[in-house]
C-alpha cells in the first residue's frame, strides 16, 4: 500500500520583461525573464520532508484588456513559461541533499499560465498592478518520476513606460 503525503509550500516569484501593444485594440504581448521558487514541506508517518527549489525561465504571455475606466484597467492573460532549475535542496529528517543534477528536477519545465491583472496608472509613464495566476508545470524530462508544480500566484507589480512621447 502506498502512503499518501500532503505537500504544500510557499515561494517567491520575480519577473522582468517587456510589454508590447499589438495592432488589435485591446491585446498586448509580454516577454520576460522569470525566477520562481517552488518550495514544499510535508510529512509521512516516519519522515519530515522539505524541498527548496528555484527555476529561471523565459515567459511569453498574451494579455486581453477587457475593462477600462479612467485610470483602472483589468486584463486576462494566458502564457507559457519554459524554465530550468538553478537551485535545489531536499531535506528528509536531518539529512540534506542537493537537487542539482537530480534527473527528476533537472531539465526543462513547461508551465502554461492563466491569470487576471488589474492596473492603476499613477502617472503618465507608470502604473501599479495587482493580479493572480494559476499554473501547472510539466516536466519535459524522459524520466518515470516527473516533477510537477501546481501554483497559485498573487502578483504585485510596478511598470514604467520606456516611450516618453506616449500620453494617457
| Beta carbons of 100 and 116 less than 8 angstroms apart | no
Helices (H) and strands (E) in the chain, counts: 0, 10
| Beta carbons of 152 and 109 less than 8 angstroms apart | no
Q: What is the pLDDT of residues 90-148, one digit of tens each?
A: 999 989 999 998 888 888 999 999 999 999 988 888 889 999 999 999 999 888 877 88
Specify the DSSP element, H or E, that contains 67: strand 48-69
User: Which sign does the torsion angle of CA 33, 97, 136, 129 carry?
Assistant: negative
What predicted TM-score, i.e. pTM, was given to this entire model? 0.86
Confidence of residue 1 (pLDDT cuts 50, 70, 90): very low
Amino acid at each position: 500500500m502506498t502512503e499518501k503525503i500532503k505537500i504544500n509550500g510557499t515561494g517567491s516569484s520575480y519577473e522582468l520583461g517587456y510589454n508590447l501593444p499589438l495592432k488589435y485594440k485591446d491585446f498586448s504581448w509580454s516577454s520576460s525573464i522569470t525566477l520562481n521558487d517552488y518550495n514544499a514541506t510535508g510529512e509521512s508517518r516516519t519522515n519530515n520532508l522539505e524541498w527548496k527549489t528555484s527555476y529561471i525561465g523565459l515567459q511569453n504571455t498574451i494579455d486581453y484588456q477587457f475593462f477600462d475606466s479612467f485610470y483602472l484597467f483589468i486584463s486576462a492573460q494566458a502564457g507559457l513559461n519554459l524554465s530550468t532549475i538553478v537551485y535545489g535542496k531536499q531535506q528528509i529528517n536531518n539529512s540534506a541533499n542537493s537537487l542539482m543534477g537530480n534527473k527528476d528536477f533537472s531539465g526543462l519545465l513547461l508551465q502554461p499560465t492563466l491569470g487576471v491583472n488589474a492596473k492603476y496608472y499613477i502617472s503618465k509613464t507608470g502604473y501599479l498592478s495587482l493580479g493572480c495566476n494559476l499554473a501547472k508545470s510539466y516536466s519535459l524530462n524522459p524520466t518515470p518520476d516527473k516533477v510537477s508544480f501546481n501554483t497559485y500566484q498573487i502578483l504585485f507589480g510596478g511598470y514604467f513606460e520606456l516611450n516618453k512621447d506616449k500620453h494617457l
